[in-house]
Amino acid sequence: MNQLRAALAPFISLTDSEWAALAPQLHRRQLRAEEWLLAPGQVCQEISFVSQGLLRTCYQRPDQAEVNFLFHFPRTFVTDYESVLLREPARLGIQALAPTQVLALPVALLPTLYEDVRWQRFGRLMAEQIYLAARRRAEELLFLTPTQRYEKLLHEQPDWLRELPLRHLASYLGVQPESLSRIRQRLTQPAPVGGANRGHAFPEANTCGGPAFLNQRQG
């Protein structure tokens, strides 16, 4: 609960009594690895805050292969915004990749919360960041090579990169696991003396749902 209150603090200054009224309406969920937070085909009923663990947003291709679109790390919010807005079954799924704990805010509470301008501001910022995360992810797929995507994720989430199962990381990068192994091997080899720096400078903006999810904008 303290993590969530701290995450909300820059955007919503809740009094102790307001927090005491909100806290009982949050649902704590414990997920096992590979358990669905939101299965494809379900209507999304919650906005979840990741207290600990790791999740992925994925979709299924016509050939039934699953493709990872985003990863979600601790101290981030996760939901299927399209399903929330349209009240339609989700086309994407959200699944735990490790033992995970989330605090879930029921979507049914939003109309009441949005009567307060502070919650309206929070909702606007969350919508903006969901859009930006999806836009930046699309640009990664269009403009970066798989090696650059790997280096970018390594730059943003070095600790969690070691926890990601190989097949899920390969899917996120858009390569086969064998190709990912070659990328890792190539990047761990010592650079030739006098050779060019293989590193890439990346913006600090978080494109995979990391801790800065709602910290990019405060206006």
Whether 198 has a pLDDT exceeding 70, the answer reads: no
Whether 213 has a pLDDT exceeding 90, the answer reads: no
Query: Hey, what domains does the chain have and what are their CATH numbers?
Result: 2-116 (2.60.120.10), 144-188 (no CATH)
0.85 exceeded by pTM: no
The pLDDT value recorded for residue 215 is 40
The pLDDT value recorded for residue 55 is 96
The pLDDT value recorded for residue 207 is 40
In the structure encoding, which two tokens stand for residue 31, read together? 């997920």
Give per-residue pLDDT as tens, 33-68: 999 999 999 999 999 999 999 999 999 888 878 899
Kindly give the interhelix angle for 146-156 and 117-143, rounded to the nearest 10 degrees.
140
The pLDDT value recorded for residue 8 is 82
Give per-residue pLDDT as tens, 2-11: 888 888 887 7
Whether 201 has a pLDDT exceeding 50, the answer reads: no
In the structure encoding, which two tokens stand for residue 88, read together? 């339609």
The pLDDT value recorded for residue 6 is 86
Q: What are phi and psi of 50, to 5 degrees?
A: -85, 110
